[in-house]
Amino acid sequence: MCLAVPAEVVSLDMEAQTAVVALGKVKKQISIALLETVAVGDFVLVHVGFALNRVSPEEAAKTLELMAEAGLVSEEDAA
């Protein structure tokens, strides 16, 4: 099964086409090469180290809540 997880962009390096995203306390550097626009504070769907597309904060929260109910992420990460 493939799974993309919504995470918030906390910093950007436009020259390297990378961003640091956060999901709860976990932070990870990812590629933003597949996106036309992205800004700090945006939510993106992350799959295997790539941001696939932007999502609204509401959609990210809803998705994380469903993932927490299914036991795929912690309740803290969904909050």
The CATH code of the domain that includes 35 is 2.30.30.140
For 37, the domain range is 5-78
Q: Report whether 21 contacts 46 (CB < 8 A).
A: yes
Angstrom CA distances, 40 to 1, 13, 52, stand at: 29, 10, 16
Q: What is the dihedral of CA 5, 25, 33, 37, to 10 degrees?
A: 90
CA distance 1 to 24: 23
What's the structural domain count of the chain? 1
List the one residue out of 26, 65, 66 whose CA is nearest residue 46: 26
For 5-45, what is each residue's pLDDT tens digit? 999 999 999 999 999 999 989 999 999 999 999 999 999 99
**Residue-wise pLDDT tens digits, 50-72:** 999 999 999 999 999 998 888 87
